[in-house]
Structure 1
Amino acid sequence: MSEAAIPSTVAVPQILAKPRGKKRWGIAILMGVGILINYMDRLSISVVQTPLSHEFHMTATDFGIISSAFLWSYAIMQIPSGALLDRFGVKKIWAAGAILWTVASVLTAIATGAWMIILARIFLGVAEAPAFPGAMKATGIWFPRHERGLCTAIFDSGTRLANVIGLPIVAFVVQAWGWREAFWVQAVLSVLFLLAFLVWYHGPREKFARKRLSEGELDYIIAGGASVEQPHDDQPVRMLGYLLKQRKLWGLSLGLAGAGYVLWMLLTWLPGYLQTSQHQSVLGSGLYAAIPALAMFLSELFIGGFWVDRVIGRGANGDKVRKTVIVVGMLVALLTAGAALTSNTVIAITFIAVGSAGIALVYVTSNSLPALIAPSGAAGSVAAIMNCVNLLAGVVAPILTGFIVDVTGSFQWAFIIGAIALVGGLASYLLLMGKIEPIPAPPSTKDAETV
């Protein structure tokens, strides 16, 4: 389809009239379902800790290593996956990833030893690396700037619903049939998602060409500052080198890493903490672990999504609103350390749930920023760098937590170290990130055509 056949709006009005079409929200929900299945894949290992450790005779440190194995390859592959997304587009890379993460679930289900589970987890990390950068890139392509908060909240809510819906389901399957069957269920869900994704996902211009998107909605998306779905002009290595020199990107990445340390500690160890320190059953730990996830879901959807977009849409300064949400979120997240002060399960979960709601605000706001600060066509690379740095903290958290539990016999110091990481992340946001605005394009791309 030629550019001439695509409707466009040159001037961007201050207030855009909402179109009748809502295809863009269907895309947000589709990405959210994909993220939900992603997180079920990666978090199920935490629910099966007890039967898995018994079968393969593992210590807490051994389990920490298995839990972090996913993050080794996931972190390493973030930057390459971002470059691939910017080069080949969301549809091709996400579809390939869905095929590979299905295979990883099957490998886990048929594992004959701990070594095979480690290999399957490493493979899963490679397969799921494009998931979040792809969702962030799709947000920039499909949504005007003032609607990206809610879109991000919708797809990011998949990470929370994995705990609210996914982990109780996994816990039930483990309790009823066994831990291997839980991974067979995940493989089936992955295949179903792949089929749905191949049918429904296209870029907005391709949707319009297929007569599955109205002209009014496409005009609205373009006029609101949506990104162009095309490769950036620079070579991937050149663009990555340029982005790595940007202080703004480092402030965002290191800030999110502070929250990420605590998030990954909870994602990999919360059921284990409940089973060992709080003496809960496998099913009980799955149900309790759903409470913080529900708090995160509500926090990011209604505050980080609806409220932020509504306030900015009414003319508030987007930079100030988003920064305020991040700072408040980091301060509230410090309440997770309260779990170190009590042996009462209800009180501990309350501290963790409220603190987790703060982490959700940090995540949903930070995840909306790559599409807002990236040079044209490079949102995938910006998101991938941010995720890579964040995940390096995630690699450390499961292993360090397991080591602390083995040495001290409790999780008290694990929660305290998490609070220290949050303080460091807050300092990075405040001192390094600066104003939330697009990073200037490298010299060779400054004159590139924009829409």
Structure 2
Amino acid sequence: MNTAVNLLAFLTGINLLNYMDRYVIAAVLEPMGRELSLSDAELGWVQPVFIYAYMVAAPVFGALADRFHRPRLVAAGIALWSIATAGAAFAGGFAGILVTRALVGVGEAAYASLGPAILSDCYPERERARSFTWFYLAIPVGSALGYAVGGVAAQAWGWRAAFLVAGFPGLILAWRMTRTADPPRGAMDTLEDRMAGSSFPARVRNLFSNRIWLACTMSYTAYTFAMGALSTWAPTLLQRAHGASPGRAGIVFGGLAVVTGIAGTFAGGILTSRLQGRFPDAGVWISGLTLIGAAPVVAFAIAAPTPGTAYAAFFFGMLLLFCNTSPVNALAVSCVPASIRATGVAVNVFLIHLLGDALSPEWVGHRSARFIAEGAGKGEALSKALWIAVPALAASGIILVVLARGFGARGAPPDA
């Protein structure tokens, strides 16, 4: 294999572990909450505290990455999130869980900012959607491993074991990353780069004058809001509303994420690659329409009366949701100059999480706690609380098809 393919495979493996460590906690919320006597409102903070640390650290790593050796910064992040994930096994209460999750967020911010920028420097613009398809397959597969590993380990050895199993493998990848070369920046681009050597404020101003980047960021903010709520609380909904055990809920939801994630991510990436030569906005339309179509399907899944209908609806909803991953991320990276690409990814990460999944899991938790206090059963309360994800998905698709069109076949963005 050539250097680009080797690096793509390695970065994809790291991304898989990244998402496994991020979502292992979702599989153990119920047993962890029982042992530590945590309310739904407190459990709702588990994901936001990760996101707050993640989004604050991302611009810092982005600014550093545009000037320094990127693989070594990534290696430091991998080591930090791996140690912190394993450290959650020793938490004695709410504070310990929050601290370890915050440190996971700081570590993962390094990879979120730098991974896509490194990968984009290995492939020309016309091939990025295809390469990003493989890279972003790690989202469903890694998330599914988090649910499955977390659920199975929790059922077999207790919830604390899940963090140990998920955490330690990352240290091997961190060591390997320190030995990886940093690819030349912008070598594969056709977009003229006028921002080399610019200050951080100038780079940020350039981003906010770029209509395509803004549209992708706004759309992905709404998408992340919805996915934050669903990914954190859906396994718990299956346990409460449909009587699934933690292990079964983790395996089923994880299995759905793997199958739909692979199929949806491949479908979105391959269709975009094949059609964008004739239709430059193909990726925008594919992403936007599948997001709009997913909204009613997810609404039915949340309120499904039986386990079978819930699983089927989640399957089709998640399949549609994963179609947008590769096209939107490839467009968000390609529409900015190489010299500020890591900054663009980092600021995007900051905004989509600040206004997205930093808010939604906690909001769902508070809404569920309020409905329980008003007399609703725990399953019914959580189902009603999760409805906030539905309009967010519809808005995400509408923003794309209205505002993100016009990047053009040559890779030059239109005037803002």
Is the 8 Å Cα contact of residues 74 and 122 (structure 1) preserved in structure 2?
yes
Q: Does the alignment pair 1:412 with 2:383?
A: yes
Correspondence for 2:352: 390
Is the 8 Å Cα contact of residues 256 and 363 (structure 1) preserved in structure 2?
no
Q: Does the alignment pair 1:399 with 2:370?
A: no
Q: Distance in 2 between matches of 1:373 and 1:394?
A: 24
Is the 8 Å Cα contact of residues 71 and 125 (structure 1) preserved in structure 2?
yes
Correspondence for 1:46: 26
Greater shift in the superposed pair: 432-441 or 263-272: 432-441
Correspondence for 1:146: 126
Q: Give the 3-state SS of the residue equivalent to 1:316 in structure 2.
A: coil
Give the TM-score normalised by the residue count of structure 1. Answer: 0.83
Q: How does 1:207-218 map to 2 (within 5 A)?
A: none
Uncovered stretches (5+) of structure 1, i.e. residues with no partner: 1-20, 207-220, 443-451
| TM-superposition CA deviations, 1:219-244 (whole Å, max 9, x none) | xx95x537999x93101232113323
Correspondence for 1:372: 334
Correspondence for 1:176: 156
Greater shift in the superposed pair: 44-53 or 381-390: 381-390
Q: How does 1:194-343 map to 2 (within 5 A)?
A: 194-199=174-179, 201-204=180-183, 222=187, 225=189, 232-312=196-276, 315-317=277-279, 319-334=280-295, 335-343=297-305
Q: Give the 3-state SS of the residue equivalent to 2:242 in structure 1.
A: coil
Is the 8 Å Cα contact of residues 53 and 102 (structure 2) preserved in structure 1?
yes
Offset of residue 348 of structure 1: 1.2
Is the 8 Å Cα contact of residues 16 and 138 (structure 2) preserved in structure 1?
yes
Greater shift in the superposed pair: 273-282 or 338-347: 338-347
Is the 8 Å Cα contact of residues 133 and 384 (structure 1) preserved in structure 2?
yes
Q: Distance in 1 between matches of 2:108 and 2:29?
A: 22
Give the TM-score normalised by the residue count of structure 2. Answer: 0.89
Question: Residue type matched to 1:329 in 2?
Answer: T
Is the 8 Å Cα contact of residues 222 and 352 (structure 2) preserved in structure 1?
yes
4+ runs deviating over 4 angstroms = 226-229, 437-442
Question: Residue type matched to 2:16 in 1?
Answer: L
Is the 8 Å Cα contact of residues 406 and 413 (structure 2) preserved in structure 1?
no
Larger Rg: 1
2:74 to 79, 83, 94: 94
Q: Give the 3-state SS of the residue equivalent to 2:127 in structure 1.
A: helix
Q: Give the 3-state SS of the residue equivalent to 1:130 in structure 2.
A: helix
Correspondence for 1:363: 325
Q: Give the 3-state SS of the residue equivalent to 1:369 in structure 2.
A: helix
Change (3 A) 1:394 1:72: same
| TM-superposition CA deviations, 1:81-114 (whole Å, max 9, x none) | 2222212142122111012112212331221221
The alignment of Structure 1 onto Structure 2 pairs a total of residues equal to 403
Is the 8 Å Cα contact of residues 339 and 349 (structure 1) preserved in structure 2?
yes
Q: Does the alignment pair 1:159 with 2:139?
A: yes
Q: Give the 3-state SS of the residue equivalent to 2:181 in structure 1.
A: coil
Is the 8 Å Cα contact of residues 155 and 246 (structure 2) preserved in structure 1?
yes
Q: Distance in 1 between matches of 2:209 and 2:259?
A: 36
| TM-superposition CA deviations, 1:269-316 (whole Å, max 9, x none) | 11111111111101101111123312432234421223322334xx32
Is the 8 Å Cα contact of residues 291 and 353 (structure 1) preserved in structure 2?
no
RMSD: 2.6
| TM-superposition CA deviations, 1:361-398 (whole Å, max 9, x none) | 22222111232101231111111222222212111110
